[in-house]
Every structure is written in structure tokens, then in C-alpha cells.
Chain A
Amino acid sequence: MHELAVTENLLALALKHASLATFAASTAAAPTPRITCLHIVIGQLSSIIDDSVQFYWTIIAKDTPAQSARLDFQRIPALFQCSACSHQFAYRPDEFTCPACNSPQLKIIAGNEFYLDSIEIETS
């Protein structure tokens, strides 16, 4: 449900960094370059639906330098690590014990990622 806010923030971040990159590359004031791709990293435990973000994107990015940008979602699977035997295994929402040693002492070591990794911009 909060994908609209997420999409708005993605657009703002992408435009900011595209304009920063141009500014760094030349001293003259240059327009924000066209953004061709956003590489987005989302962990399994971050409740974001890719299709929803894509849906909002086509609406809110219209008429901006990011209008034709592709959204590339990298999904990171959630991982548990056992604090007793260090075994690492895929997160299962119905089973919070270590399959190797049965210990209930677990840590989540991946799956909460939620960031814009990089963007691709056109260079002339």
C-alpha cells in the first residue's frame, strides 16, 4: 500500500543523483541527463510489490528525465544464521529453529535491504 510513497522517493533520489553526476562532470550548468535505468535492491522482508512500483512509475515519472527509465529490481532472499552452530539457511516464515542443530537462537542476516543501488544515465 505504501508503494506510491516509495516510488516518489525513488524518482526524487534518481533525479538528484543524475543531476549531481552531471554537475560533477562539467562546470557549465547542464540539464539533468536522461536516466535509462534504476537498480533497486529490495530484501524479501521489505514489503514492496515490484509491479505496484512499476505501475506508479509510469504515472509519476512522465515528463521527467527518468520517464523512459527501466526499473531493475534485485530481490535479496531472507537468510537466517544460527547463533549456536553458525549454519545459514533460507528464512521460512513458519519455522524459526535451526534445521541443523534445532537451536531457536537465530539471527536474520539478509532480507531487510531497501535501497537505490545505482542509476544509469546517458552521456553525450
Chain B
Amino acid sequence: MPTTRVEVKENILSANDLIAQKNRQALDQAGVFSINLMASPGAGKTSLIEHTVRLLQPEFRLAVIDGDIATTIDADRAAAAGAKAVQINTGGDCHLDAVMVSSALASLDLTEFDFLIIENVGNLVCPASFKLGVHKNVLIASVPEGDDKPYKYPGMYQGVDALVLNKMDLLPYIPFRSQYFWHGVEVLNPGVQSFEISCASGSGLDAWLDWIRQHILACRHA
């Protein structure tokens, strides 16, 4: 049978992107600033969330959506720190997608919140491909992971709006070439907003919190 070629030229995950746009509309409508926190397992996503929630909770109303393969450990920690926490168990999936976030958003009354943190599944590959519809995509790297991570995971490092380098307190004990690390970051994502912090000592958290505050106030309805 003869065949004909039909042009498509459509992004493979365009269906996900469409739902992501709807998530964004819902967040904008409610005036909620939202971030998607991505990192490898153990980089400090949950620790940073705990600090952020504890320190911002007197000023703002916070919600956390926690993506995890099976447990509720992370959501429990976020709730204990003072946020409304919603757990998404991905059932083995290595990333959150816009549909999972959409149903988690539906379980929250967004008008009750100023700031939403979405904690993605610990993974430096898959979450980079799936837009969720948040305002800022944030990557947490950490000193013990090594200075070569930008070079090994260019997809993740290219796509984020902010980069947090955690566990700076370990710098004296670990061979980590800061210049090499930041050069890779700069090539992949020129001028990206960045923070050097330590969740253990609390250093650098002020700058991070100021950045969040500034965006919450900009998103919040007057």
C-alpha cells in the first residue's frame, strides 16, 4: 500500500507541557509562588525544605508537595516543620509530571497559601524533561556529589532557574574544585541565580530566603 509522510514537528512531551501550563494558571490565579526542587538523592532537598519552612513560616503560608517513590518520610518532615504537606507516591516512577502535580494541586485550596514547594523525586536525569508548571525550577547540588556533576548531567543543569550548592561546610574535607564546578555551570546556564549554603551550619540560607521572599511578594495578589 502506498504511504504518505505527515509532518508533525511536535515536542514529544507536549501533552505534559499543556497540563503544566494549566497548573501554572491555577497558581498564578491564586497568587502562589511555586518552585520545583530537584536534586540527586541525598543532596539535601528535604533538609532545605525543613529550614525554609521553619524560617518562612512566621511570615507566609506554606505548602509542600512531596514526590517520592513509596514512603511518606519526606512529607512527614515537611509537615513537622510547619507546612501543609501533600504526598505523591509515584509508584516507582523516577520523576513527577504535570498530571501528578495537577491532582495534588486539586487537593489543596490554593488561596490559603503564599508559597508552594514541590519536592521532586531524587534523580538528576528524568525530572529535567517534565515541566510541572511552577515559577522556578531549582536544582540542589552538594559538595560530596563531586565537582563534575554539571558536566555529567547537562540536561538538568541547563534547565534550571536557580542552583543551590549545599554542604559547603564539607569543603575542607572533600576534593571539590569550586572553579571547575562553577565553570561547568556557567557554560551550561550562563548567569544562573546561585547560592552556596550549608543546611548543617545554616550558612548562606539568608540569601536563599531573601530570594524566595522577593518572589513570593511579587506573585502575591495586592
Give me the interface of A with B, judged by CB distance under 8 Å.
1-2, 5-6, 9-10, 12-14, 17-18, 21, 34, 36-37, 40, 45-47, 78, 93-94, 96, 104-106, 108, 112, 114-124
User: Can you list 8 A-B pairs with a CB-CB distance of less than 8 A?
Assistant: A2-B129, A17-B10, A18-B6, A108-B154, A117-B9, A121-B3, A123-B1, A124-B1
Asked if residues A112 and B158 are in contact (CB atoms below 8 Å), the reply is yes
Q: Does B26 contact A (CB under 8 A)?
A: no
| Alpha-carbon distance A106/B184, docked complex (angstroms) | 10
Give 20 new A-B contacts, CB below 8 A, not counting A1-B95, A94-B148, A112-B155: A2-B95, A2-B129, A12-B15, A13-B8, A14-B8, A37-B3, A47-B126, A93-B154, A96-B151, A104-B187, A114-B13, A115-B10, A115-B11, A116-B10, A117-B8, A120-B3, A120-B6, A121-B6, A122-B1, A123-B2
Asked if residues B183 and A120 are in contact (CB atoms below 8 Å), the reply is no
| Alpha-carbon distance A71/B25, docked complex (angstroms) | 35
Q: Which of A21, A34, A96 contacts B183 (CB 8 A)?
A: A96
| Alpha-carbon distance A17/B188, docked complex (angstroms) | 34
Residue picked from B1, B3, B128, B152, most chain A C-beta under 10 Å: B3
Asked if residues B152 and A108 are in contact (CB atoms below 8 Å), the reply is no
Q: Chain B contacts of A13 at CB under 8 A? A: 8, 10, 12, 14-15
Asked if residues B6 and A114 are in contact (CB atoms below 8 Å), the reply is no
Output the least CB separation between B7 and chain A (Å).
Answer: 5
Q: Chain A contacts of B148 at CB under 8 A? A: 94
Asked if residues A119 and B5 are in contact (CB atoms below 8 Å), the reply is yes
